Structure 1
Amino acid sequence: MSDIWSRVHDERRTLIADLAGLPAQAWEQPSLAAGWTIHDVAAHLVDNARTTPLRLVVAMAKARFDFDRQNANGVAAAKGSSPEETLQRLRDVASRRSGPPAPKASRLVEEIAHGEDIRRPLGIERDYPVASVLDALDYQLHTPQRFDGAKELLGDVRLVATDADFSAGDGPVVEGSALDLLMVATGRAPRTEGLSGAGVARLVELGRATA
């Protein structure tokens, strides 16, 4: 993962290009992130890219150590008065290498997952580099749920990628693209059309997929 930051920067630049062609009304559509519009997610990515360990501590203190409140405050601060302003702010932070005190692979998870939060509702498809998706998926599946990971999921199902050499977990099998498995592991509850196997019903029970 020595090139992790270059891949994070590539994801940011590609998303900026996708956002640049959107009409203003598209920015106000709901994203996959519950309660957030496309514009909100873009602002969250700006806030994430600006984050440093010290800045996060200060922000958490202001939010009385409520993570959801801290995220909402960050979106409000990073969001421009127009889509164009927010997009410019995203351009301004695209090459930054700062982040919260977490493994760098978590930044790749953020960029890909939030990229899909934006793209899927808008019908935009991205052919992600397989290595980036697999690194993000591996990180997510080795991170406990209390830290927004999905490690516990591996005790319920076995995830098998249909487009890459990847499998993990014990239990009934769930097959899908590496990207769809990442969406499962990040709690996006993708629709089951892209998944197959005896474990899909278990994912629906867990709220990790939508029938």
Structure 2
Amino acid sequence: MSTKTDTRAALWAATHAERAALAEDLADLADAQWARQTLCGRWTVEEVVAHLTAAASIGTARWLVSIVGARFDADRHNDRRLAEHRGATHAETLERFRAVVTSTTAATGDTAAWLGEVVVHAQDIRRPLGLPRTPPVESVTPVARFFTARNFTVASRTAAAGLRLEATDGPFAAGTGPLVSGTTLALTMALAGRAAYCDDLTGPGVATLRGRCGPQ
């Protein structure tokens, strides 16, 4: 049964709010900050922003054409779409992102996943830059629930297997096994493979979860 925080309309509203908040954070970045590496592997801040624009600009049919054209290589697909939506300047990249803030275009109907896309990638940018904003717990909670239920763009369900996850700032809880506790955001980011956020977690299951995160 849907609650007021996980209906599709509410999830899209939260997605739009998180995109707008990220755009605001990006507005005053210096050139060197746009070139900083993020928590998202090899991508810089500007590349992550272009990736978010691409994700909000491609529907199912175009996504299928793109992924087939990339021979089902997700990295190749992502790199091609990122290049398509990256501007000639940092300012143009930001303007392209601002243009999709209220988009409801997506490759699939998994709206919680697309909210998760912006929640995770925004923190990929903010943490290395020391930007203080964090998304509201009510926006992150449906992402945490989705991540423990499914492997989608990240192996989050696999990461959560055999662990008890409990948020210290909201209602999220899932699984059985050694306890891992922390903020909803820290749990969500760790499930997305961001090992840096394991430093914000406590409990006997943290070492296991850390070991399942990819290299940062």
Range 31-40 or range 197-206, more displaced = 197-206
Gaps of 5+ in 2: 1-5
> 2:184 aligns to what?
178
> RMSD across aligned C-alpha pairs, in angstroms?
1.6
User: Is 1:35 the equivalent of 2:35?
Assistant: no
In 2, Cα distance between the equivalents of 1:192 and 1:141? 16
1:204 Cα shift?
2.6
> 1:164 aligns to what?
170
1:208 Cα shift?
6.2
> 1:202 aligns to what?
208
User: Is 1:85 the equivalent of 2:92?
Assistant: yes
| Contact 1:190 1:209 (C-alpha < 8 Å) held by counterparts | no
> 1:52 aligns to what?
59
Gaps of 5+ in 1: none
> 1:134 aligns to what?
141
SS of structure 2 residue aligned to 1:152: helix
Range 172-181 or range 121-130, more displaced = 121-130
1:128 Cα shift?
1.4
1:14 Cα shift?
0.5
Range 93-102 or range 18-27, more displaced = 93-102
Aligned residue-pair number? 209
**Counterpart pick for 1:110 among 102, 109, 117:** 117
What amino acid is the match of 1:70? H
| Contact 1:142 1:149 (C-alpha < 8 Å) held by counterparts | no
> 1:154 aligns to what?
160
> 1:187 aligns to what?
193
Q: What percentage of residue pairs aligned between the two structures are identical?
A: 36
Range 194-203 or range 83-92, more displaced = 194-203
- Distance of aligned partners of 1:194 and 1:39 in 2 relative to their CA distance in 1, 3 Å threshold: same
| Contact 1:184 1:209 (C-alpha < 8 Å) held by counterparts | no
What amino acid is the match of 1:129? P
| Contact 1:106 1:139 (C-alpha < 8 Å) held by counterparts | yes
User: Is 1:22 the equivalent of 2:29?
Assistant: yes
TM-score normalised according to structure 1 size: 0.93
1:207 Cα shift?
3.0
In 1, Cα distance between the equivalents of 2:63 and 2:195? 28
1:190 Cα shift?
2.3
What amino acid is the match of 2:58? T
Following TM superposition, the consecutive aligned residue runs of length 4 or more in structure 1 with deviations greater than 6 angstroms are none
